[in-house]
Amino acid sequence: MELAEFWFILIAVLWTGYLVLEGFDFGVGMLMPIIGRSNKGRRVVLNTIGPVWDGNEVWLLTAGGATFAAFPEWYATMFSGFYLPLLLILVALIVRAVAIEYRGKINDQTWRTRWDWVIIGSAWVPAILWGVAFANLVRGVNLDADHQYAGNFFDLLHPFALLGGLVTLTLFLSHGAIFLALKTDGEIRERAEAFARKASLVTVAVAGVWAVWAQLAYSRNTWTWAAVAVAAVALVGAWFSTLKGRFGWAFIADCVGIVGAVVLIFGAMFPNVMPALDPANSLTIDNASSTDYTLTVMTWVAVIMTPVVLAYQAWTYWVFRKRLSLENIPEHNELTFSKG
């Protein structure tokens, strides 16, 4: 295996980590008004990701940085061609960070409600747009002979891409509900479990249609049928596990389903990194990669630092492993607006 191929696989692994971890972050954000119906309930929901959401975003930064260093032309073409959707995602992530930090600063219901809606909206936007972006990578985009994107934003919103957005939306909703079922107790847990049972079934249906469409119409490799099968079995298993009340197994199955989806996406593109509607203009692993020296240095850095990052993040999840309930939420101790 050449270093460029190794880094193509490693970038897929980084995206897998991001979608698994940030997937339930987005799901939790979208479910705040549904699962957490009171202020205390929303505080419980938000606190389940409070210690980990910012660490989960590191996977996105690492995936983007690895793409920039290992495949600079892929990075340049993708970020210029997908400029508007990626900008919307970036803005959503920024305002979400502000909202999470500011929501509990002032003891005022109007203040909290406004920030709640910011959190909810900033979860919905990337939950949909990530699916749109990945679907376009699978289908291929309009690139010219210089590997520059020759379309516009609305060219990215075709039916296959919109269905891809619906896939990530439903997948993150079910993933977030299963996560909440594992991290909460009492009535919040009951609502999360009930929602997870319904959302998981919808995810199976929507993701199944998209995966078969992707494989039949756009995959460049027949072996990715195996990824379709793994994802399908995993998502069905997640749904079945929710019916049996085994939410730990449901979460594991959901994660396997996401792994299968990423393998399908990257496998469908291979050996391209950014397929073009005209195959002659596609960016490939060979014509988009950095020099062997750059990839060698990157490999040594990854070998040394990746275990450290994984160990730290695993320790964080272990420390904050206990369930939360309404009884764990104290009364307000925030600042109040001056009446004078």
The residues spanned by each domain of the chain are 3-140+147-320
Angle between helices 3-35 and 292-319 (to 10 degrees): 30
Q: What is the pLDDT of residue 334?
A: 63
pLDDT at 27 over 70: yes
Backbone angles phi, psi at 311, to 5 degrees: -65, -45
pLDDT given at position 245:
92
Cβ neighbours around 309 below 10 Å, total: 15
Closest CA to 191 of 204, 172, 177, 203: 177
Residue 340 has pLDDT above 70, yes or no: no
Please return the burial class of 249, using the count of CB atoms within 10 Å of its CB with bins 0-12, 13-18 and 19+.
Answer: middle
Residue 49's pLDDT is 93
Q: What is the pLDDT of residue 328?
A: 76
Cβ neighbours for 281, distance < 8 A, ≥ 6 positions apart: 143, 144, 145, 147
Counting Cβ atoms within 10 Å, is residue 101 exposed (0-12), middle (13-18) or buried (19+)?
exposed
pLDDT of residue 338: 56
Instruction: List residues bridging with 106 in a β-sheet.
Output: 335
Neighbours of 312 (CB within 10 A): 11
Q: Collapse the DSSP code of 278 into the 3-class scheme (helix H, G, I; strand E, B; otherwise coil) and give the result.
A: coil
Q: What is the pLDDT of residues 153-167, one digit of tens each?
A: 899 999 999 999 999
Q: Are strands 283-284 and 272-274 parallel, antiparallel or unpaired?
A: antiparallel
pLDDT of residue 335: 63
pLDDT at 337: 58
pLDDT value for 168? 97
Using CA atoms, how far residue 207 sits from 24, 151, 169, 170, 233, in Å, is: 17, 27, 10, 8, 12
Examine the pLDDT at 143 and tell me if it is beyond 70.
yes
pTM of this structure: 0.93
> Rounded to 5 degrees, what are φ and ψ at 274?
-150, 90
To which residue do tokens 């972006």 refer?
133
Q: Which residue type is seen at 117?
A: W
Round to whole Å and give the CA distance between 337 and 335. Answer: 7
**pLDDT (0 to 100) of residue 198:** 95
pLDDT of residue 331: 72
* Residue 306 pLDDT exceeds 60: yes
**Which residue intervals of 57-147 are DSSP H helices?**
58-70, 72-81, 83-102, 109-139
Cβ-based neighbour number of residue 1 at 10 Å: 7
Q: Check residue 151 and give its pLDDT.
A: 85
Q: How is residue 283 annotated by DSSP?
A: E
Predicted local distance difference test score (pLDDT) of residue 333: 61
**Which CATH architecture best describes the domain 3-140+147-320?**
Up-down Bundle (1.20)
Q: What is the pLDDT of residue 332?
A: 67
Span 180-201, mean pLDDT?
94
| Residues 218/248, Cβ–Cβ less than 8 Å | no
pLDDT of 123 > 60? The answer is: yes
